[in-house]
Structure 1
Amino acid sequence: MSRAAGREPRRLTRWWRRRSLRTRLTVIAATAIAVSVFVAFQVAIELLDRELQDTAQNQLRADSRVLAANAERAGLAQVQLPPYPGSGGLVRVILPDGSTRTPAGQPALPPVSEHAGRVAQGASADLMESNDSDGDGYLIIYTLRAGDGAVQAARVTDGSTNNRFGWGMLLIGLLCVAGGALVGRTVARAGLAPIDRLSAAAVRVAHTRDLDAAIPDEGGGEIRRLIQSINDMLAALRDSRQAQRLLAEDAAHELKTPLTSLRLNVELLIRLDRRGTLDSALPAESRTRLLNDLGAQVAELSTLAAELTDLARGDVSDESTEVLDLADVVVAAATRARSRVPDIEVALDVTSVWVSGRPAGLQRAVLNLIDNAGKWSPGDQPIQVRLRAEGASAVLEVDDAGPGIDAADVPRVFDRFYRADSARALPGSGLGLSIVQRVVDAHGGRVTVARSARGGALLRVDLPAAAPLAPIAWLTAGEDTAVH
């Protein structure tokens, strides 16, 4: 039983949630008016009933005083009682011995009550009583002390007046509820018109895929803020789609050259192998050089595919953010750079600086900076990597002794697939520094490029520092450590 009772509110809730906002506003308006009319009806009925009672009681008091004055002059036994008019007020005289006198033809009144008898005996001056009558109303009897007895005036009050008033109020209430529902529907339609237009515009954008169709700004307050938020979302989607299109176009352009070269070399090997002239057409030295080129091209394609995947993911990452020592990340990146390029030499000058970030993403950014510096730095000159705390920031600097970056290339050095003229003969995809900037931006930092004191490029990364989990001093400032 309790389970069934518990399901009913849930069904009602589900039903209510399925209704449109316009229907909800209409129901709320009609309900509010219905409750208001019901409360007003109850208050009016109560006030009317009290007013009718007060009027009847005042009339009974007035009739009793007139009859009492006549009885004191003529005596209770001889006083002339007014003839019964056929309806309306009733009168009765209570004699000292407890007997009563009533006008001829008047309907009988209930027996004298014990309290009325006490009034006749002088216990009190007057008494107002009410008794249920045979009809829908009730009988009011007023007893007033007069001479050695008392006089009574009575009146039957029926509910006809209240009933007529009640039916009138009910009719007015129904009209008010119907009018309230109509007004609520009209107000809801007018108030939700901007929402309807907004929904139609959103559906149009979803069907046409036209993100350039901005929704007209109309209305005010919450409606305007909602429209502005949706327009901002459309603008973000436009930028995202444009970036996606540019990435696809640039990726296709960058993949075209290595794939073409790889396909031509493979086709050459296949053709010579089919003819059985592979050994005669390609001496061992040339064949070795061709296979090395194929391996380099495959490695370049693998690196490009990995960088494209990393760049296309944007800020989406399954890696959680944690408070970490950036010095550990820098050392790990330097170690990986050494394992990838054995001839590279990295001189570390790092101190323990704590940041909040994703370890793998930060390590990839540092590794890309070291790889970029390794392409330019001479073999006898190490790449200098410095890490220090500077105010509320962690500052990482990667310094090489290469030719540096031309001033014309500085504004575009972090663009996707951008490669300076002097770098086109070197391996790489032009995505490394772009990935660095994306990782640094995702961590709330900033990356800049300048010329180092050794004449090469100096790339600087500023990241917000975080409170350390424990005071750890990994390497002291100014201490140079070379990774060979």
Structure 2
Amino acid sequence: MRHVPWRRSARSGQRPEGRWPRRRLRTRLTLAASAAVAVVVVGVCAAAFLVIRHQLLHQLDLHLTQSARLAAQQYRREPPGVVQGECRYLAAPACTQLVPVRPGDDPAQPYLLPVTGATRQVAAGTRGPYYSELRLADHRARMLTTPLNAGRALQVAVRADTVDQGVRQAAGLLAAVGAAGVILAGVLGSWVSRTGLAPVARLTATAERITATRDARHRIELPTGRARGDDEITRLAASFNTMLGELEKSVTAQRRLVADASHELRTPLTALRTNADLLIRSGRLTEAQRERAATALGRQLREVTVLVNDLIELAREEEPDPLVEEVRLASVVAHGVDSARGHWPNVSFRLRIAPDADTGTVSGVPARLSRLLSSLLDNAAKFSPPDRPVEVTLERTAGCLVLAIRDHGPGIAAEDLPYVFDRFYRARTARALPGSGLGLAMARQIARAHHADLTAEHAPGGGALLRLRIPDSAAPDGLSQVSYAG
């Protein structure tokens, strides 16, 4: 088993047709992850800027409120007019002035802070305190207008450019942080895509390696121990390894089939060629020799024909067969036994069908079931002595139809029992008999396609017992689908 290391595969992608080429999965994942992190970073920085700006303005308003409270206590008895600060230049910490309700009570000197109708309403008590923005001496200022006592309003203004400077500094700092966050998002996005798609890259590398070398023994190294995960990518890699294992088994089976077939065909083809050469020189042979050569040639042709037909049947292991129908198994068994009696006239066949199994049906292909039965009967007749019958029994047991075929021959040796269904396997006692060793292998293949179980065992008292257990479609737990997927 060969393992492919975790590495990035070199792919030469072709640009699809269209104006905008479709990007690779890793690029799309990188862009998606980077965009998601970048949006979060920019959003956090924007929210932080708004919070900082709000807090600075709030602190300025608190300062105005505190200054107004102190001015109200200090200038409660002062006449209307400017009472503190050179408001034009905002040299004092706060510029303060008193405004009466009636314009006629205004002082002779002009106000330095703007006085509007809203200011008179606050002085009259018909409007509550409010904040306003203004510019004084080319500086932005913030003013609080609040009621005092005896029909007067108190106006307090402070410079706001220091707040603006703090907001600008915060904006610059957050912009730098946001830019660094976006760059970091790109780096993290690339790392996430590279790490997340590493198993996918391994899958691709393994597939490309198999394509290049046609070797299905490659596997993907899975995490072990504590590092072993149960995520989707790990399960995908495990499934891919399982698929490769099945592919390797299939390829190995095909190669073994070809090798075994070539080995089995070599001997009869050599004999055919020899007998054909003899017949070509028939002028030098006697009549008896020509007769023996023609008989041997015909027998060998039949053997080769049977072998080739069996190979074709085995090669159809994955071929779907749509001719599935409800088959009365008792009729197939009775017809198969009659055909076997004609094919093996020197062998006696004894058939017994239980009454409850006579009406049992299975879902399958009649021709394939007949081929299965003929393979089992031919195998039993081949080893059965002439004076002992081949016993065929059909019964119904636990929702299944059970077909048992027993012969009274030498039986199956213990060392041969695990291999009787292997292709081209022939026991030591059967190597002198005709056959290719494909009959039982083909029988098991057909049985598995019908969800049936075919077993071989020693029969009590000697001989071999082949037992086929196939689901009865009329039973509640019977299966109704035939699969040729192997």
Please give the range of the TM-score, normalised by the shorter of the 2 chains.
0.7 to 0.9
The alpha-carbon distance between structure 1 residues 370 and 33, as it changes in their structure 2 partners (threshold 3 A), is same
The answer to whether structure 1 residue 255 and structure 2 residue 261 are counterparts is no
Aligned counterparts, 1:156-235, within 5 A: 157=160, 159-186=164-191, 188-189=193-194, 200=205, 203-211=208-216, 216-218=221-223, 220-221=228-229, 222=231, 229-235=239-245
Q: 2:43 corresponds to which residue?
A: 39
Q: CA deviation at 1:355?
A: 4.8
Alpha-carbon separation, structure 2, partners of 1:395 and 1:359: 17
Q: Which runs of 5+ in 1 are unaligned?
A: 1-10, 472-484
Q: Distance in 2 between matches of 1:14 and 1:467?
A: 58
How many residues align? The count is 446
After superposition, residues 367-386 of structure 1 pair within 5 angstroms as 367-377=374-384, 382-386=389-393
CA drift at 1:353: 4.0
Runs of 5+ consecutive residues of structure 2 not aligned to the other structure: 1-17, 479-486
Native 8 Å contact 1:76 1:147 kept in 2: no
What CA deviation, in whole Å up to 9, does each residue of 1:146-196 have, x standing for no partner?
A: 322222234574655434322321221111121232244345546666665
Corresponding residue of 1:143: 146
Are the counterparts in 1 of residues 130 and 146 from structure 2 also a CA contact under 8 Å? yes
The alignment's C-alpha RMSD in Å is 4.2
Alpha carbons of structure 1 residues 255 and 123: separation in structure 2 relative to 1, 3 Å: same
Provide the rounded CA distance (Å) in 2 between the counterparts of 1:230 and 1:470: 33
Q: Secondary structure at the match of 1:15?
A: coil
The Cα shift of 1:365 comes to 1.8
- The superposition leaves residues 256-298 of structure 1 with CA deviations (integer Å, 9 ceiling, x where unpaired) of 22212222222333333xxxx48xx453x76555444433322
Query: 1:293 & 1:438 partners in 2: Cα distance?
Result: 32
Q: Which residue of 2 aligns with 1:15?
A: 22
* Contact 1:93–1:101 (8 Å) recurs in 2: no
Shift in Å at residue 94 of structure 1?
A: 2.5
> Can you list the C-alpha shifts for 1:460-481, whole angstroms capped at 9, x where unaligned?
123455554899xxxxxxxxxx
Paired letter, 2:130 = M
| Cα distance change, pair 319–378 in 1 and its aligned pair in 2 (3 A) | farther
Distance 1:458 1:107 in 2: 120
- 1:53 paired with 2:60, answer no
Equivalence for 2:405: 398
Please list the CA deviations of residues 439-462 of structure 1 after superposition, one character each: whole Å capped at 9, or x if unmatched. Answer: 334525241132365x54321123
Contact 1:344/1:382 (CA < 8 Å) preserved in 2?
A: yes
Contact kept? 1:93, 1:100, Cα under 8 Å: no
Distance 1:73 1:240, change over 3 A: same
Matches within 5 A, 1:303-318: 303-318=306-321
1:341 deviates by 5.7
Distance 1:214 1:149, change over 3 A: closer
Report the Cα distance in structure 2 between the residues aligned to 1:325 and 1:470, rounded to whole angstroms: 17
Cα distance in 1 for residues equivalent to 2:343 and 2:374: 10
Distance 1:209 1:386 in 2: 48
Identity value in percent: 34
Q: Is the 8 A contact 1:141 1:155 kept in 2?
A: no
How many angstroms does 1:368 deviate by? 0.6
Change in CA separation of 1:452 and 1:439 when aligned onto 2, cut-off 3 Å: farther
Distance 2:147 2:19 in 1: 60
Amino acid at match of 1:255: L
Query: How far apart, CA to CA, are the structure 2 residues paired with 1:215 and 1:130?
Result: 71
Contact 1:255 1:301 in 2 (8 A): yes
Distance change (3 Å), C-alpha of 1:170 and 1:332: farther
CA drift at 1:339: 6.5
Q: Which amino acid aligns with 1:434?
A: A
* Larger displacement relative to structure 2 (416-425 or 306-315): 416-425
CA shift in 2, pair 1:137/1:449, >3 Å: farther
